[in-house]
Copies of this chain bind each other. A is one copy, B any other.
Amino acid sequence: MARGGKKTTNTAETLPANTRALGGRAKITINDIARLANVSKKTVSRVINESPLVRQETREKVKAIIAEHGYAPDPQARALAFRRSFLVGMIYDNPSPQYVVNMQRGILDVLADTSFQLVLHPCERSEATFKQKIHTFVSQQKPLGVILPPSVSEDDTLAEMFEELGCEYVRIASVELDAPSRMVRTHDAEGAAQAARHLASLGHEKIAHIHGPKTFRSAHERMAGFKAGLKEHGLSLRKKWTVEGAYTFDSGVQCAEKLIYSDARPTAIFTGNDEMAVGAYQAVRKAGLRVPDDISVVGFDDTPMAARVWPPMTTVRLPIREMGQAAASLLLKEPVEKAGSELVSFTPEIVVRESAASPAKS
């Protein structure tokens, strides 16, 4: 048995002092495993990285010793040698906390049993240093990949930057912006069309829409789908009933108030997301009116909040957590496996609760 370390002058007693971690017991390394298995560290490395170039027998022997000693390779050392860390970044500017937390959960579901960690990188597209900060983040941390929910996902120049930096990415968006292996697509237009059909079939004609910011592609998609749905019923979205919000609660309140206090008050409002829908609820109530008796409200996303407000909100469900899972799965798969596979996509579906009813006869 080759028991000699590289420093043959060190006795077994003097070695541990060098190898003890801060306050911990001596940490086992690839060298220990190699010595115990009577192979080179390179072979251990091959086993760790699942290289096919290892004899079955050798592989099993090494694996057994790894398991026996509970050895796990050091992520920092691997990162340095690989020039790539074991981190997955989530880069986001979405203002809805529910959206953010659900997506995190989805990603974490997939990362849970891997050696990858989720690192958060919030940002502001309006900041001048927006891209530079992301560039610094990626070139410093060298994550395996990044996951981009809207609206960050919609920025093509950002995608090019990741490409140049050799960083994998998955874009979650309502438009097919990239190769299938880099996309999780949501059919927002179809979801919005369902909302339109629902309101139209309840008998509404005075229908308003509070859409998200123009900088979000989803805002355009949802509006377009909504218009298409109305058209099927011979209706159209009037300009005076089309208001731009910011996907935030406060903007929902303000936009809904604009509609409520206009000369021609609509009987139904479809909002670009649930946050704004809850804002609309607030405005309706402040005005002494009721949902849905006086004004019907339909949201988008089906965040947990939608079922918790009163009346429970009719909204279009986007499976955000599952989308996060899908994005993380795409990132972790080998390029070979996902090549040729079709696009991963999700079609939202309307969840009918109690915030939309037939308009009062007036």
Contact = CB atoms under 8 A, between A and B. Distances in A.
A76 interface: yes
A310 to B, nearest CB: 5
Interface stretch (A118-126, A178-186, A229-237, A336-344): A118-126
Contact of A72 (B72, B136, B166): B136
Given A23-B166, A76-B80, A308-B278, A120 B108 contact: yes
Contacts of A21: 83, 139, 165-166
A8 interface: no
A116 B102 CA distance: 24
B108 A97 contact: no
Interface in A194-219: none
Given A21-B83, A21-B166, A305-B305, A120 B104 contact: yes
Given A108-B120, A308-B249, A310-B310, A163 B23 contact: yes
A22 B140 CA distance: 13
Given A21-B83, A83-B22, A166-B23, A72 B120 contact: no
Interface string A29-40: 000000000000
B142 A76 contact: yes
A288 interface: no
Interface residues of A, number: 50
A97 to B, nearest CB: 4
A6 to B, nearest CB: 18
A85 B74 CA distance: 11
* A contact patch SS: helix
A117 interface: yes
A136 B74 CA distance: 11
A98 B98 CA distance: 7
Contacts of A105: 122
A77 B76 CA distance: 7
Interface string A284-327: 01000000000000000000110011100000000000000000
A110 interface: no
A75 interface: yes
Contacts of A104: 120
A143 to B, nearest CB: 10
A101 interface: yes
Contacts of A84: 22
Given A22-B165, A249-B308, A309-B310, 19 more contacts: A21-B165, A23-B164, A23-B166, A24-B164, A24-B166, A74-B140, A75-B140, A76-B79, A76-B80, A80-B80, A87-B117, A97-B101, A97-B304, A101-B101, A108-B120, A117-B120, A117-B121, A249-B304, A285-B310
11 contacts: A74-B80, A80-B80, A87-B117, A97-B98, A117-B120, A117-B121, A118-B119, A119-B119, A249-B308, A281-B310, A308-B309
